Structure 1
Amino acid sequence: MDQKIEELFQEYDRKMNELCNDSPAYDTDDLFNTYRAYRKVILAKRAGLSDEALEKDIRAFAAMTDALHVRKDAPERIYLWPEGKMPAEPESRIPPMFRMADDFRPYMYEVLVSPEVTPKGAVLCVAGGFQGRTVVNEGYGIALEFRKLGYQCFVIHNRVNALDFNTKCSLNGKENGADIARAIRYIRANADQYRIPADRVAAAGFSNGGATIENCVQYYSGTRTVKEYFPGYEPDELDAYYGAPDVYINVYGQRFPEVPFDWTGVVYPPVFEAAGRDDDTGATSNLYTLLPDLLAHNVPVEVHTFAGTPHGRTAYNLIWEKEDHPNFDLFVPLADAFMQDAYQKNERRD
């Protein structure tokens, strides 16, 4: 490919990746169409199309990216930490590829049901990878799916879970887990505004987002506090609320068997596990080793694997006219039933 055209693609690849973190702020059709144009370029490059054809597709993708504008009725960012108050690991612990911008502050968006709908609860959606483009389907797309079923949804842009690729262990689990806990606390604190019971807040994570939620469970369930891990942190009114989710939905983000998990003091919520059987990241095989550990600790768990489905196919039915793996999003109504069952069991115990 001509170098200038490749540089043009790389420029707009980066631009769109950044825009996608704010997916709920854009017109849904415009966002999905731009994502389709991006994928068309990727598939064309893999297929070895001519430079002329590639240039045409890349320029179309660039034009659509330039045309994306925040809509007038867009929800606002909800910043999770007061400026200067965010607890953080030493930067030296985090490889450069995982570091956020120096001025980054985690935030989330609301994706709410209409006023005439009685909400069933809330779902915090945590996209995988480095976020960016994954927010389109694993954040915003899945939020739209759960909203259809009656949930107040939230799409978070948190500090990315940094992995040691040799050990598969998180290098900053306490800080990205704190972002998830902070978002959950905010939702609980505003439960009346969102018209939900404060004890019906689920978190749904995808790939690296699923691992991020488990960091929240490991470090901030039970009686664990942010200050326990970050002595210089100054608690505020949100810290009075419980920070771990009431239900954990883990989609192709299952813990690797070599990663240690400290169960001391952990109150692990009911967990819904889903993965595609053609997932090449290890999610399905990880699930088979994770399940005995969860059951040994009396964690209520439901497991679903989907034949023929590779990694990352959440909410693809919203984006593609013809989706090759339409069965995968069956996990959404199944997770809905799981959440409602868990909440009803909690009510009976109370």
Structure 2
Amino acid sequence: MSELSYGDQYRKLPEPESDQTVMNTAPDTSGIQVLYLWEKDNMPSSTVFSEDMDGYFDEYDFRPYVTAMPAREGTEIKGAVVLMAGGAYQFRGNYTDTLPTAAHLRELGFQTFIVDYRLRPYTQREGALDVARAVRFIRSNADVYGIDPEDIAVMGYSAGGIQAGEFLLNFDEDVNGSVLDGRYVPDELDSVPARASACGMIYSFYGRLSVASMDEEELRKGDLPPTFYCYGTEDPFYGQFEDQYELMQDMGAEVSRIVLEDWPHGFGGDGGWVEDYAVWLEQIFNEK
């Protein structure tokens, strides 16, 4: 993050220019495309976020969206990666987390998708539906993106990784917005399984904010895909990363890790791990 200032982590990615959504707009791989994930009057929610509530990163009328960054033209397409930034559910640090990594991965042949998921006052359950929606959109347009529909990974940094984990543990496959909101009207995208074949936990873990899950029953029930961990030894959550990794190994889960000596929390795409992650991910996709 040497070229970025501390304030860059609070910068917001551009929203769609008009009411372009994953339902009403055709995917376009000729350049960066930004689409809302939900139709304006049909976003499942169990949280009330009203106009008189302030002090949050997003406005009350925020709509989650996805920024699609296609693989560099001329590269062999290897699959798709869905990225979620960290920020303790207080903000989304896209300019320090997801953007540098997406820019790197697209050079290596991956179609990349950054999800601006819901933050507080919403819960990570609602954010998980945003992740699932993005995965469904990509799977339904796998031919356009030139990928096998099974070659989709989710990954996240800190809270973004927790968000990816919440999706995989409780909101993947056939689960849709109706599970949280009886007013939600399922649409044709909900008929597409929200399935990811790999997960990247970058200074993150399965669990909730600041607390790694050590519940073996919960982790087994989630039928989790191969998981790649990357974290530093100076991270305040280092012990929890180690404990969960060892538990996952003991469970027989397919896991890999890179541990950065003397690195802290929040290193984003720095540390030289991205290319190793890309090699691991390509191998996972090829072994399915």
- Which TM-score band applies after superposition, normalised by the shorter structure? 0.7 to 0.9
Q: Mark the CA change 1:315 to 1:257 in structure 2 (over 3 Å): closer, same or farther.
A: closer
Shift of 1:135: 0.6
User: 1-side partners of 2:76 and 2:196: how far apart?
Assistant: 21
Contact 2:15 2:65 (C-alpha < 8 Å) held by counterparts: no
Which of 93, 101, 110 is matched with 2:59 structurally?
Answer: 101
User: 1-side partners of 2:16 and 2:91: how far apart?
Assistant: 12
User: 1-side partners of 2:139 and 2:257: how far apart?
Assistant: 27
User: 2-side partners of 1:336 and 1:215: how far apart?
Assistant: 23
Q: Mark the CA change 1:159 to 1:175 in structure 2 (over 3 Å): closer, same or farther.
A: same
User: 1-side partners of 2:198 and 2:16: how far apart?
Assistant: 23
**What are the superposed Cα offsets for residues 290-312 of structure 1, whole Å, 9 maximum, x if unpaired?**
12432354321112211011111
Which of 62, 66, 79 is matched with 2:36 structurally?
Answer: 79
> More helix by proportion, 1 or 2?
1
Which residue matches 1:307? Answer: 261
User: 1-side partners of 2:86 and 2:212: how far apart?
Assistant: 19
Q: Mark the CA change 1:121 to 1:74 in structure 2 (over 3 Å): closer, same or farther.
A: closer
Which residue matches 1:298? Answer: 252
Contact 2:198 2:225 (C-alpha < 8 Å) held by counterparts: yes
1:110 and 2:68 equivalent? yes
User: 2-side partners of 1:24 and 1:104: how far apart?
Assistant: 12
> More strand by proportion, 1 or 2?
2
Which residue matches 1:271? Answer: 227
- Please give the root-mean-square deviation of Cα atoms over the aligned residues, in Å: 2.9
Kindly report which structure 2 residues correspond to 1:1-350, keeping only aligned pairs within 5 A, or say none: 19-22=11-14, 75-91=32-48, 100-129=58-87, 130=89, 134-160=93-119, 172-254=123-205, 255=207, 256-257=211-212, 262-263=218-219, 265-280=221-236, 282=237, 284-316=238-270, 328-329=271-272, 331-346=273-288
In structure 1, the gaps of 5 or more residues are: 1-12, 26-72, 163-170, 317-327
**What are the superposed Cα offsets for residues 27-65 of structure 1, whole Å, 9 maximum, x if unpaired?**
xxxxxxxxxxxxxxxxxxxxxxxxxxxxxxxxxxxxxxx
User: 1-side partners of 2:9 and 2:59: how far apart?
Assistant: 14
Which residue matches 2:25? Answer: none
Which structure: larger Rg?
Answer: 1
In structure 2, the gaps of 5 or more residues are: 1-6, 18-29
User: 1-side partners of 2:92 and 2:170: how far apart?
Assistant: 28
Contact 2:214 2:244 (C-alpha < 8 Å) held by counterparts: no
**What are the superposed Cα offsets for residues 73-106 of structure 1, whole Å, 9 maximum, x if unpaired?**
97342110111111112238xx975573111000
Q: Mark the CA change 1:266 to 1:189 in structure 2 (over 3 Å): closer, same or farther.
A: same
**What are the superposed Cα offsets for residues 287-336 of structure 1, whole Å, 9 maximum, x if unpaired?**
122124323543211122110111111224xxxxxxxxxxx22x212211
Secondary structure of 2:94 counterpart: helix
Which residue matches 2:20? Answer: none
Secondary structure of 1:291 counterpart: helix
Shift of 1:133: 6.7
Shift of 1:223: 4.4
Secondary structure of 1:155 counterpart: strand
Contact 1:227 1:235 (C-alpha < 8 Å) held by counterparts: yes
Letter in 1 for 2:249: L
**TM-score in terms of structure 1 length:** 0.67
Secondary structure of 1:268 counterpart: coil
How many pairs does the alignment contain? 261
